[in-house]
Amino acid sequence: MRQIARLERILAADRDRTGRQHLFGAAATTDLSLVDCINRADAVVSDVSGVLSEALYSRKPLALTNMTRTELDAFCAEFPLARACYIIDGGGSDIEAALDALLGDDPRRADRYRIRAHFLGDFDDDAYADGFVRIARSYT
C-alpha cells in the first residue's frame, strides 16, 4: 500500500508538472476492459502476469515489477518478456527512473519491438488476424 501511495504521489506530481492526465486511484475504478485500459495508457506497469503479454502487442513502454527481488539476470531468464521492460525492484527504489524512461525517451523501444516480433510474430497490426488465420490453416 505504501508503494501504491508513493506511485500515486509521483503520478500526481507529473500531472501537475506536465499536464499529462494520468488515471489512478479511485478515478481508475471503471468498467474498462484490460484492452481498453492498455489502449488508453501511454505506458503499462505490470506484475508478472498475462497483462504483460497483452500489453506487449500495443508496442507501448512497459515496466515490470520484480516483487521476488530476484537478481536481474535470473529474473529475465525466468521471465523472458522482462527483457522488453523497465524493471522496478520489489522495494520500488527505482520507480522514478522507470517512470522517467517510460514517459520520456523510452530507450528500451528497440528491445521491446524485437521481443514483440519474437513472441507475437512480425505482423503488420492491421493484418495480425490474417497472419494468425494463415498460420492456423497451415496446420490442417
* Domain layout of the chain by residue ranges: 44-137
Give the model's pLDDT for residue 41: 87
Q: How far, in Å, are 7, 21, 128 from residue 12 at the CA level?
A: 9, 9, 36
Residue 126 has pLDDT above 80, yes or no: no
C-alpha closest to that of 53 among 108, 121, 107: 121
Give the model's pLDDT for residue 1: 80
pTM of the model: 0.78
Pairing of strands 44-46, 62-66: parallel
C-alpha closest to that of 69 among 43, 49, 98, 93: 93
Give the model's pLDDT for residue 60: 94
Q: What is the identity of the amino acid at 82?
A: A
Cell numbers linked to 133: 488465420
Cβ 60 vs Cβ 126: under 8 Å: no
The SS3 call for residue 82 is: helix
Strand order in the sheet with 86-89: 44-46, 62-66, 86-89
% of the chain beyond a pLDDT of 70 = 100
Residue 114 has pLDDT above 90, yes or no: yes
Q: Identify the residue with better confidence: 69 or 102.
A: 102
Residue 25 has pLDDT above 90, yes or no: no
Give the model's pLDDT for residue 32: 83
Give the model's pLDDT for residue 116: 92
| Ramachandran quadrant class, 29 (left: phi over 0; alpha: psi -120 to 50; beta: rest) | beta
Residue 45 has pLDDT above 80, yes or no: yes
What angle, rounded to 10 degrees, do the helices at 95-103 and 2-18 form? Answer: 40
pLDDT in tens, 62-98: 999 998 878 889 999 999 999 999 999 888 788 889 9
Give the model's pLDDT for residue 117: 92
